[in-house]
Amino acid sequence: MSNGSPPAPRGALGGAVLLALAALAVSCGSGPGQSGATEGDGVPPARESASSPGGDTTDDTPDDDGDDGSPSSGRGPLSGKVVVIDPGHNPGNRKHAGEIGRSVDIGTGRKECDTTGTSTNDGYSEASFTLDVARRIRKLLEAEGATVKLTQDGSRPYGPCVDERARIGNEARADAAVSVHADGSATGNRGFHVILPAKVKEGSADTGRIVGPSRDLGERIAAAFMKRTGSAPSNYVGDKGLDVRSDLGGLNLSKIPKVFIECGNMRDSREADRLTSAKWRRRAAQGIADGIGAHLKQ
């Protein structure tokens, strides 16, 4: 999988973000590596544990908080804003290999509808992680008055496909969309990275209008995520926690500002300890929500 390197952010905000990211990047170092696939890494997940192997499954926001995703009261600093949160993959994908294996148009080519995603070595799946974090983000943003829509909330048997994930945001006319993931890379590859859309105009893909605002969204999420979680930028992909790609249908087909965030590497034991902690997931959700809010409030 090829990974582009984004141009340096412009303006005061970009400079502040890079300075903050660089400070943590020094502590984690840098090195060669390759990212696991984001819309699907094709790694068969290990058997799902009955509970998070991190042993830290309870805090003030449980894994399934019972929130039905209904619109908020509209009161708060994000009143009138619409946000789409896209939990990567689906826990049911493993039972629907045929359906998720069919190819769909992503503008620059074709790609499988979806995949199972990855998992920790102890069996905590990426799909469970992303759904939990997405629900937490929704709760935080709704408390600020935003209307939040999830692309899937655990009620679908599989999917949606990557093209439909983009379409959901477009049809909602969302002000911002974020796809939540965790990577499946090699041991020793650590840190988070935010994936920004490349400028693409091919087939059904045309990202020209969203590249700028998506970069702002991504920069703000990266800074807030680092502050809330203490995680360092990736030491194996991207540039100071930011990466630009043209091979992801969820970005290529989006008509609204959108980014992906890889919250950490599930295949590294040190990273897995974080990802399986409910308290850490709460901080991760807060960081992502803070970044989205900062982008929408400007």
12 CB contacts (<8 Å, ≥6 apart)? none
Contact 69, 137 (CB under 8 A): no
Does 126 qualify as catalytic in the annotation? Answer: no
Angle at 246 between CA 190 and CA 283, to 5 degrees: 35
User: Rounded CA gap, 192 and 199, in Å?
Assistant: 23
Q: Which residues of 42-73 are buried (b: 16+ CB within 10 A; e: fewer)?
A: ebebbeebeebbbeebeeebebeeeeeeeebe
Q: Which of 126, 142, 262, 271 is catalytic?
A: 262
214 CB contacts (<8 Å, ≥6 apart)? 196, 197, 207, 251, 257, 258, 259
User: Rounded CA gap, 4 and 245, in Å?
Assistant: 6
Run of H or E including 102: none
Is 12 buried (19+), middle (13-18) or exposed (0-12) by CB count in 10 A? exposed
Contact 203, 107 (CB under 8 A): yes
Virtual torsion, Cα 290, 295, 296, 298, nearest 10 deg: 120
Nearest to 162 by CA among 107, 98, 221, 92: 107
* Residues belonging to the active site: 262
